[in-house]
A = this chain, B = another copy of it.
Amino acid sequence: MPHAVGVDVGGTKMLGVLIDTDAPTEVLSAEKVPTPRGTDAVLDALTVLVSSLDSGPGVPVGLGVPGLVDRDDRFRYGPNLPDVEDVALGSVLGGRLGRRVVADNDGTCATIAEFRAGAGAGCADGVLLTIGTGIGSGIVVDGRVRHGANGFAGEPGHMVVDRNGPLCPCGRRGCWERFASGSGLGRLGRDAAVAGRLVDSVRRAGGETEAVRGEHVVSSARAGDTDAGLVLDEFAWWLAAGIANLIDLLDPSIVVLGGGVMEAADVLLDRVRSAVPPQVLGAPHRPEVEVVAAGLGERAGAIGAALLAGAGGD
């Protein structure tokens, strides 16, 4: 029973789990705390969180963090952890805790979990996308999660897909996650509402067009509202456009979709599945790529971080 602790460090909350790495989906204990601001406060909160999750000092710890993590476990940069920059998370927290601590990108950690024990298990070539406020990702090539030259691989959220599109906080225009993330869905909804459509969703948002968010569109679509269905069609088209880009480049056999937006899988997944093949190069001449919902839910990142720590890397 090799135990390991994993923590998914999000922009607003941190989710920690203790697992047996031989049975990673049976979480032994879990705890969620708010993410404080500033490097020292984050390290303090992680110290408390890890200590509360396990009793043995030798248990290794993995951290999944939202941003660029280099191959020396150094967190370089991430717009969703704005007050934390350029800190060797693994060795600093390892020193405090007196045990092995490793860090990696949160999308990479979720990919490790989903392709070891979730929806991608057994697939040698695949992509995981976590569709939340932004788009996280990890890529599996020839059986392994890949990190690239510096550890930064797997950030398709900032692919430009519309050069004249809306400005992105990253500085470019028309990045994929401006359209195909949870915030992208909200924006598509507000655009429709301002244009006078989407009456049902505006009502759900308290009558304010500017208050329409993705969940209002999803609720309306579930209730059978045609306008909301059209917004979801548009959203699914954007999601599929980027997925097709990834298929052209990486030729995966499976694309696993996780993240908060996939709570709407019941009204979204079939739309995405229909929108992908027409956009893939030479689609009639190649097998269709499976597009499936993630299997481990919101704990995928934390479980993957624990697997990373327990296995000595992937």
- Which label, helix, strand, loop or mixed, suits the secondary structure of the A interface? loop
Q: Give the interface centre of A76, A162, A250 by most chain B CB atoms within 10 Å.
A: A250
CA distance in complex: A43, B248 (Å): 28
A196 touches B (CB below 8 Å): no
Do A154 and B253 contact each other (CB < 8 Å), given the known contacts A125-B148, A279-B160?
no
A156 touches B (CB below 8 Å): yes
A33 touches B (CB below 8 Å): no
Q: Which residues of B contact A153 (CB under 8 A)?
A: 249-251
- Which of B77, B160, B241 is close to A245, meaning CB atoms less than 8 Å apart? B160
- Interface membership of chain A positions 258-290, coded 1 if the CB is closer than 8 angstroms to chain B and 0 otherwise: 000000000000000000001101101111000
CA distance in complex: A286, B174 (Å): 22
Q: Which residues of B contact A285 (CB under 8 A)?
A: 68, 76-77, 85-86
- Nearest to A148 among chain B residues (CB) is B251
Binds B, one of A139-147, A183-191, A206-214, A303-311: A139-147
- Nearest to A251 among chain B residues (CB) is B148
B172/A249 in contact, CB under 8 A: no
Q: Which residues of B contact A148 (CB under 8 A)?
A: 125, 141, 250-252
The chain A residues found within 8 Å of chain B, CB to CB, are 67-68, 76-78, 85-86, 124-125, 139, 141-142, 144, 146-165, 170-172, 174, 241, 244-246, 248-253, 278-279, 281-282, 284-287
For the complex of A and B, 8 pairs with smallest distance between CB atoms: A148-B251, A77-B285, A149-B253, A153-B251, A125-B149, A76-B285, A152-B251, A159-B245
